[in-house]
Structure 1
Amino acid sequence: MITSVERRRRWPRDEKERLVAASLEPGATVSEVARMAGLHVSQLFRWRKELCKHGETSIAPFVPVEIGPSVRPRDVAEVPLTT
């Protein structure tokens, strides 16, 4: 018999930001951070996408590249195939 209705958990923005920051730490894995917080990995990935998109405006999508002179490949010695 079900006696109550389970509602979705509401996460405050500062808690989302804290978990996203923890998942971005060097050596941290998203799945481990999500597991410790008690949420699904896909939810944490969604929060990362939502919260990190604001910083993308300062990052250039393309970086200019200068191509230098061509370098001749080394001569490859022919090795006889043994069968």
Structure 2
Amino acid sequence: MPKVSRIEVISTGARRRWTLEEKRRIVAESFGGRGEVSATARRHGLSGGQLFTWRRLAREGRLGDEASALVPVEIEAPALANSAKPERDHDAPAGSARASKGPGLIVIELGNGCRVRVDRDFDADALGRVLNILDRRR
């Protein structure tokens, strides 16, 4: 029969559990300027590597279900002299409806002071690539 022995488990202490709100607040604080990452990490009692990981996750939009990842969007429609007239598709049979294609502009303001203006007929994949590149340059 196997011999039963006593095992002692030594704990290194309780690990700190950060809420998503705390992580977001600390990450936002770390974007304060040059050298702020290390100082912010020390103030909150975590390693610089952990804070850099949270910053990367935040840039990639993977730091939880973050409502603050949304940025203000402003849609501008320039005034046109003929904008009151409905647009018709001459190839469509009489009586059929078609969505009006009025001019529109989407302005995306990024946190680093950049502003991206996009026409209403933009390629979403291309815009995503551009925004990822701009975000990496912060």
TM-score (norm 1): 0.59
Q: After TM superposition, list the pairs within 5 Å mapping 1:1-83 onto structure 2.
A: 5=11, 6-27=13-34, 29-54=36-61, 57=128, 59=131, 61=133
State whether residues 22 and 28 of structure 1, in contact with CA within 8 Å, keep that contact through their aligned partners in structure 2.
no
C-alpha displacement at 1:7, in angstroms? 2.3
C-alpha displacement at 1:52, in angstroms? 1.5
C-alpha displacement at 1:29, in angstroms? 1.3
Greater strand proportion: 2
Structure with more relative contact order (C-alpha pairs < 8 Å, separation 6 or more): 1
**Residue range with higher mean Cα deviation, 24-33 or 12-21:** 24-33
Q: Percent identity?
A: 36
- In structure 1, distance between residues paired with 2:54 and 2:22: 11
C-alpha displacement at 1:17, in angstroms? 0.3
Larger Rg: 2
TM-score (norm 2): 0.37
Deviation sequence 1:15-70 (CA, Å, 0-9, x none)? 00000000012345100000000100000000001111126x470538xxxxxxxx
Q: Unmatched 5+ residue regions in structure 2?
A: 1-9, 62-68, 70-127
Greater helix proportion: 1
Question: Alignment partner of 2:57: what SS?
Answer: helix
Corresponding letter in the other structure for 2:133 = P
